[in-house]
């Protein structure tokens, strides 16, 4: 991975050695790249301590296999002392973390669903 500050572009090197812009990656690969960048920034900003990550469906485009690997990475970070707050609408996340939920390693906190409707009686 490299960053071109003049063009404000993130580039990645493919297995064949060719360098491409991140925008040309698949959705899942793009999500994975930016997750890795976030992790690197966290480690760089807090070299001697652990902090937290607040993630809002960062792997929405990931397939099940890639999602499972990303959850494994998050669990590993949590075990190292990082706090992870993860919001998701993907049921797959809960399915993948089922074992960790049962062990008490992962806490699921569902939020009540709110439907916002316009009150037509107050329209003029």
Alpha-carbon span 90 to 108, nearest angstrom: 13
> What is the distance between the alpha carbons of residues 38 and 21, in angstroms, rounded to a whole number?
18
**Domain parsing of the chain, residue ranges:** 2-109
Quote the pTM value.
Answer: 0.76
Q: Walk along the chain (124 residues) and give the pLDDT tens digit of each residue.
A: 888 899 998 999 989 999 999 999 988 888 889 999 999 999 999 999 999 999 999 988 888 998 999 999 999 999 999 999 999 888 899 999 999 999 999 998 887 777 777 766 666 5
Helix (H, G, I), strand (E, B) or coil at 81: coil
Fold of domain 2-109: Rossmann fold (3.40.50)
The answer to whether 11 and 20 have CB atoms below 8 angstroms apart is yes
């Amino acid at each position: 991975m490299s960053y071109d500050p003049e063009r404000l572009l993130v580039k990645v090197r493919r297995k064949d050695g060719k360098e491409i812009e991140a925008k040309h990656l698949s959705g899942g690969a793009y999500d994975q790249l930016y997750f890795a960048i976030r992790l690197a920034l966290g480690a760089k900003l807090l070299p001697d301590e652990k902090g937290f990550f607040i993630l809002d469906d960062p792997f929405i485009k990931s397939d099940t296999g890639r999602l499972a690997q990303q959850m494994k990475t998050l669990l590993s970070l949590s075990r190292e002392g990082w706090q992870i707050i993860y919001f998701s609408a993907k049921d797959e996340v809960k399915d993948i973390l089922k074992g960790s939920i049962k062990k008490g390693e992962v806490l699921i906190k569902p939020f009540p669903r709110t439907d916002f409707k316009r009150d037509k009686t107050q329209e003029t």
